[in-house]
C-alpha cells in the first residue's frame, strides 16, 4: 500500500500551495505546487511532494522547486517537476530530465472533418497500426550509415527532413527547430547507440500513442484560427520519445554522476538526485549526450509523422498538401535547457530542468514561430487513451513565475501493476468502443495498464494551469482512433 504524504503545506491561493523551506533542514528554498484542493488529494497519495522538497536541497537552485498539477513519483525528481539552476554555482541532474529524454508531443492539423473520413476511419486505424512500428522493444525500418547516424544525433528533425521525411515548415514548427545545440555523439556509449539505431522510427509502448482526434471545443477563436483548426476538425497527435536510446543515455550517465557526488562534495537527501556542476566535465558530458537523445526523439517523431501523412494519402487518395496535413507544433516534455530569465532585475542564463513539464513561452518570445508571436507558444497536453487532449498557449505569467513551464499530461495515480489488478475481468476495448473510440494495441496488458482510471482527470489538470495563468486553453480534442504499443 502506498504511504500518504502528510508533510506541511501552506495554501497560497486557489491554485498554489507551498512546502515551507523549514520542512527539512538543508532545504535551500521552498517548494511550490500548482494544484487545487481536489487534485491535491491524489497528489498526496505518494511521496512525490517529498521529492519536491528534496530537489530544494540541490546547490545553485534559483527560485523555488516547482511541481505541476500532474505531479507523481519519479526517479529523483518528481514527474511534473521543474527547477532552475545557476550555471556557475548550480548542477545538472539526469534525474531532473528522466529516462525517456525528450518524450514529447506533436499535433498535425488537417482540412478534414468527421464526415470526410467516417467511412475510411477503420482503414486508417488498421494501416497506422500495421505500418508504424509500435510496442516495447519494437524495431524500426530505417537503416542509417555510420556518418548518417552521427547526423541524426546532432541534427534531429533537420536530418529527417533532409532525407525526405517532411518539409522545412516542420522544422520551423518544432521546439529548438528539432535540433538541440551542444549535442556530442562522443559522449554517448556504444551500447546506447546500438539500441537507438534499431529503434529509430518507432512509437514504443507504455503511455506513448498515435491518435486520430476530433476538435470537440474551441476556447480561443483567434489562436484556433492561427493553428488552422475549428470545431469538428480532424487532428493527429503523436506522443513518443527517445526509446531505448534515451533510456541508456540516462542509465550510463547516472553511473558517472553517482561517482561525482563524492568528487564534488554534494550533500544529497537522495542518491537518485545524483548530479554534477553544470560546468564540470561530468555535467558537460551529460548535457552533450542528453542533447543527442533529444535530437533522436525529434527525428523519431518526424519520421512517424511522415509515414502518417503517407498513410492518409494512400487511404484517402489525396496528397498531404491537399489534405492540409501541417504540423501545428512539437514540444518536449523531459529535457534540460539553457534559457535566459530575469532574476533580481538582471537577465541571466539558467539551466532549466523540465521533467514531465512543457515549455510555455508567452507572446512575442523570440524562440517561437513568427505566425504564433501574437498568441504565444503552442502547448500540447495529451490525455490518456479514453479522455480528451488539449491545445493551449503559453503566457508571460509562466515566463515570470514558472520558468515558462506548464503541465505535460494527466499524470498517473496508480502503478501499472495496480491498474492491471483493478481492471481484471473488464473488457477495456469494449468500454472504449462504447465511447466511440477505436483502439489498436500490441502489449499483452497495454489496455489495462493505460485505462483512464490509472490517471488524474486531464480536464482538472488543465483547469489548474489555466487558473494559475501558466497557459491558456485553445481547443479540446476527442480521441477517435488510438494506436498504442
pLDDT digits (tens, 9 = 90+) for 438-467: 999 988 899 999 999 989 999 999 999 999
Q: What is the pLDDT of residues 271-287, one digit of tens each?
A: 999 999 999 999 999 99
What residues contact 430, with CB distance under 8 A and at least 6 apart?
Answer: none
Q: What order do you get walking across the sheet with 334-343 strand by strand?
A: 10-13, 16-19, 31-34, 61-72, 79-86, 346-355, 334-343
CB 32 within 8 A of CB 66: yes
What residues contact 425, with CB distance under 8 A and at least 6 apart?
Answer: none
Query: How many alpha carbons lie under 13 Å from residue 411 in its C-beta half-sphere?
Result: 33
Q: Which residues pair with 212 in a beta bridge?
A: 236, 481
Is residue 1 over pLDDT 60? no
Closest CA to 56 of 94, 96, 101: 96
Is residue 133 over pLDDT 90? no
Closest CA to 83 of 103, 69, 63, 99: 63
pLDDT category at 393 given cuts 50, 70, 90 is: very high
Q: Cell triple for residue 217?
A: 471545443
pLDDT category at 135 given cuts 50, 70, 90 is: low
For residues 247-264, average pLDDT: 96
Output the CA torsion sign for 154, 208, 473, 413: negative
Q: What is the pLDDT of residues 10-67, one digit of tens each?
A: 999 999 999 999 999 999 999 999 999 999 999 999 999 999 999 999 999 999 999 9
For residues 4-14, average pLDDT: 96
| Whole-angstrom distance, CA of residue 307 vs CA of residue 160 | 12
- Residue 394 is predicted with a pLDDT of 98
pLDDT category at 362 given cuts 50, 70, 90 is: very high
CB 410 within 8 A of CB 79: no
- Residue 2 is predicted with a pLDDT of 66
- Residue 485 is predicted with a pLDDT of 78
For residues 91-117, average pLDDT: 98
Q: What is the 3-state secondary structure (H, E, C) of 94-142?
A: HHHCCCCCCCEEEEEEEEEEHHHHCCCHHHHHHHHHHHCCCCCCCCCCC
Percent of the chain predicted with pLDDT > 90: 92
- Residue 141 is predicted with a pLDDT of 79
Is residue 236 over pLDDT 90? yes
Per-residue CA distances from 299 to 63, 89, 97, 159, 171 (Å): 34, 33, 19, 7, 10
Assigned superfamily of 10-87+99-484: tRNA-splicing ligase RtcB (3.90.1860.10)
Per-residue CA distances from 348 to 85, 277, 280, 335, 351 (Å): 11, 17, 19, 19, 10
Nearest 10 degrees: Cα torsion 26, 32, 35, 41: 20
| Whole-angstrom distance, CA of residue 464 vs CA of residue 238 | 24
Check 408, 417, 440, 445 and give the catalytic one: 408
For residues 308-325, average pLDDT: 98
Closest CA to 302 of 178, 125, 153, 176: 178
| Whole-angstrom distance, CA of residue 281 vs CA of residue 273 | 18
Q: Average pLDDT, whole number, for the chain?
A: 96
CB 111 within 8 A of CB 287: no
| Whole-angstrom distance, CA of residue 230 vs CA of residue 287 | 40
| Whole-angstrom distance, CA of residue 483 vs CA of residue 106 | 15
Other C-beta atoms closer than 10 Å to the C-beta of 77 total 31
CB 372 within 8 A of CB 365: no
Nearest 10 degrees: Cα torsion 51, 15, 406, 247: 20
How much is the pTM? 0.96
Alpha helices, DSSP H, located in 317-440: 320-323, 396-401, 416-422, 428-434
What residues contact 137, with CB distance under 8 A and at least 6 apart?
Answer: none
Domain regions of the chain by residue span: 10-87+99-484
Catalytic site includes residue 306:
no
- Residue 371 is predicted with a pLDDT of 97
CB 212 within 8 A of CB 124: yes
CB 97 within 8 A of CB 334: yes
For residues 64-87, average pLDDT: 98
CB 428 within 8 A of CB 473: no
CB 469 within 8 A of CB 431: no
pLDDT category at 139 given cuts 50, 70, 90 is: confident
CB-count burial class (<10 Å; 0-12, 13-18, 19+) for 103? buried
Amino acid at each position: 500500500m502506498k504511504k500518504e504524504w502528510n508533510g506541511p503545506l501552506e495554501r497560497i491561493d486557489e491554485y498554489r500551495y507551498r512546502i515551507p523551506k523549514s520542512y527539512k533542514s538543508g532545504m535551500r528554498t521552498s517548494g511550490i505546487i500548482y494544484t487545487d484542493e481536489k487534485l491535491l488529494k491524489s497528489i498526496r497519495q505518494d511521496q512525490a511532494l517529498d521529492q519536491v522538497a528534496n530537489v530544494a536541497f540541490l546547490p545553485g537552485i534559483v527560485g523555488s522547486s516547482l511541481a505541476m498539477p500532474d505531479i507523481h513519483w519519479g526517479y529523483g525528481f518528481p514527474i511534473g517537476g521543474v527547477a532552475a539552476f545557476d550555471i556557475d554555482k548550480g548542477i545538472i541532474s539526469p534525474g531532473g530530465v528522466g529516462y525517456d529524454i525528450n518524450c514529447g508531443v506533436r499535433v498535425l492539423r488537417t482540412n478534414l472533418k468527421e464526415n470526410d473520413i467516417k467511412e475510411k476511419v477503420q482503414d486508417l486505424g488498421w494501416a497506422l497500426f500495421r505500418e508504424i512500428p509500435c510496442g516495447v522493444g519494437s524495431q524500426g525500418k530505417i537503416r542509417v550509415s555510420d556518418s548518417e547516424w552521427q547526423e541524426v544525433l546532432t541534427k534531429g528533425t533537420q536530418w529527417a527532413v533532409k532525407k525526405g521525411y517532411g518539409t522545412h515548415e516542420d522544422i520551423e514548427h518544432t521546439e529548438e527547430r528539432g535540433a538541440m545545440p551542444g549535442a556530442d555523439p562522443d559522449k554517448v556509449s556504444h551500447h546506447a547507440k546500438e539500441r537507438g539505431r534499431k529503434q529509430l522510427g518507432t512509437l514504443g509502448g507504455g503511455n506513448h500513442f498515435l491518435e486520430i482526434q476530433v476538435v470537440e471545443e474551441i476556447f480561443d477563436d483567434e489562436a484556433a484560427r492561427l493553428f488552422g483548426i475549428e470545431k469538428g476538425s480532424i487532428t493527429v497527435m503523436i506522443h513518443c520519445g527517445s526509446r531505448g536510446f534515451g533510456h541508456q543515455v540516462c542509465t550510463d550517465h547516472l553511473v558517472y554522476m553517482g561517482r561525482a557526488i563524492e568528487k564534488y562534495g554534494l550533500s544529497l537527501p537522495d542518491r537518485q538526485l545524483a548530479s554534477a556542476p553544470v560546468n564540470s566535465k561530468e555535467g558537460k558530458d551529460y548535457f552533450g549526450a542528453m542533447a543527442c537523445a533529444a535530437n533522436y526523439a525529434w527525428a523519431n517523431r518526424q519520421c512517424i509523422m511522415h509515414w502518417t501523412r503517407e498513410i492518409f494519402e494512400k487511404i484517402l487518395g489525396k496528397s498531404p498538401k491537399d489534405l492540409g496535413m501541417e504540423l501545428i507544433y512539437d514540444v518536449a516534455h523531459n529535457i534540460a535547457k539553457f534559457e535566459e530569465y530575469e532574476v533580481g532585475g538582471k537577465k541571466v542564463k539558467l539551466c532549466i530542468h523540465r521533467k514531465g513539464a512543457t515549455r510555455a513561452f508567452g507572446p512575442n518570445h523570440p524562440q517561437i514561430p513568427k505566425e504564433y508571436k501574437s498568441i504565444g507558444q503552442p502547448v500540447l497536453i495529451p490525455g490518456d487513451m479514453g479522455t480528451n487532449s488539449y491545445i493551449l498557449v503559453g503566457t508571460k505569467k509562466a515566463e515570470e513565475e514558472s520558468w515558462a513551464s506548464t503541465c505535460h499530461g494527466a499524470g498517473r495515480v496508480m502503478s501499472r501493476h495496480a491498474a492491471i489488478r483493478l481492471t481484471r475481468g473488464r473488457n477495456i476495448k469494449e468500454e472504449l468502443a462504447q465511447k466511440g473510440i477505436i483502439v489498436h494495441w500490441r502489449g499483452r496488458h497495454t489496455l489495462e495498464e493505460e485505462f483512464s482510471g490509472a490517471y488524474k482527470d486531464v480536464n482538472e489538470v488543465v483547469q489548474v494551469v489555466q487558473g494559475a495563468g501558466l497557459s491558456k486553453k485553445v481547443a479540446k480534442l476527442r480521441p477517435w482512433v488510438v494506436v498504442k504499443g
